[in-house]
Amino acid sequence: MIRLFEDFFGVVKKRFNSGIEDDYKPPMFKCPRCQSLSPLSKYEELHRVCPLCNYHGRLSAAERIAVTVDKGSFKEFDADMKSGNPIDFPDYTEKQEKLRESTDINDAVVTGTAMIKGSEVVIGIMDSRYMMGSMGSVVGEKIARAFEYATENGLPVVMFTASGGARMQEGIVSLMQMAKTSGAVKLHSDNGGLYIAVMTDPTTGGVTASFASLGDIIIAEPKVIIGFAGRRVIENTIKQRLPEDFQLAEFMHEKGFVDMIVERRKMRSVLSHLLKLHGYDKKEV
């Protein structure tokens, strides 16, 4: 019976689609969570959310700014900062030059000030297109400066995290960025500042084990990966396959490490409410 229905719908679908030119195939999006295909145009229209499973896909820093802050309000910090090569890692400098050409960013995080529905914030957005959002000297420095600026000016911080972890090519120097960023978060916190971390796809490794996990409030987008150790590393350690939902935002929410899961279309308004609940709408602009 079920089979019959499938056939029936299949036929109906075919008839429906027959009006379109035969050789036209719309570009499709394959969801990394549910593996299903949907038209790319639909996925883009939803600001990169899978229409079938609600997986929230990756946005570039510029796209994230566009959907999050008040139009025209973003003022960038340290836009020209570029990485050195602290351990003289072969090809690191060249690799970055290429990346800077192919993207619109100079490293894996963009920071600055902006308004969210009238509340002034210091904002940081990690961009996974740049070496998987890994944290090296530039990411560490820009994030530390952003928190220090917020501390000095009594501003809240909203940080969108997306990272594969430490930047291997900077060796131990990348590990130390965990201390640098966490220290700056701590001073901001001790000064009474609000910090909202928004974990986006993926938030892992050294970023999870530093500033991402230190938010007063931790928000995650649906179905994104959040964890410390990589899935494959754990599978190799325990010699067994992990369940599908392991390290998804919902899993971390269930375990108590994420306060709330917020859909992209509601993010701006949730952030605005939370900022206002902490009195950040009274700020003179």
Binding site for other proteins (CB under 8 A): 78, 80-87, 89-90, 136-138, 140-141, 144, 166, 168-180, 182-187, 189-190, 205-206, 208-214, 226-230, 233-234, 237-238, 242, 246-247, 255-257
Closest to other proteins by CB, 38 vs 247, is 247
In whole angstroms, the minimum distance from the beta carbon of 246 to other proteins comes to 7
Closest to other proteins by CB, 128 vs 177, is 177
Here the tokens at position 285 are 């602009």
In DSSP terms, 49 is beta-bridged to 56
In whole angstroms, the minimum distance from the beta carbon of 133 to other proteins comes to 15
In whole angstroms, the minimum distance from the beta carbon of 17 to other proteins comes to 42
Answer for the pair 34, 51: CB distance below 8 angstroms, yes or no.
no
Burial 193-225 (b: 16+ CB within 10 A, else e): bbbbbbbbbbbbbbbbbbbbbbbbbbbbbbbbb
In whole angstroms, the minimum distance from the beta carbon of 200 to other proteins comes to 15
Closest to other proteins by CB, 21 vs 190, is 190
Closest to other proteins by CB, 174 vs 272, is 174
Closest to other proteins by CB, 40 vs 214, is 214
Torsion (CA) 182, 206, 48, 233 in degrees, nearest 10: -160
Strand, helix or coil for residue 157: strand
Here the tokens at position 93 are 């400098």
In whole angstroms, the minimum distance from the beta carbon of 280 to other proteins comes to 22
Q: Where are the alpha helices (DSSP H) in 86-227?
A: 92-102, 137-153, 171-190, 205-208
In whole angstroms, the minimum distance from the beta carbon of 162 to other proteins comes to 14
Closest CA to 58 of 160, 191, 184: 160
Closest to other proteins by CB, 260 vs 277, is 260
Torsion (CA) 64, 65, 71, 74 in degrees, nearest 10: 180
In whole angstroms, the minimum distance from the beta carbon of 80 to other proteins comes to 6
DSSP label of 226 = B
Neighbours of 250 (CB within 10 A): 16
Closest to other proteins by CB, 31 vs 226, is 226
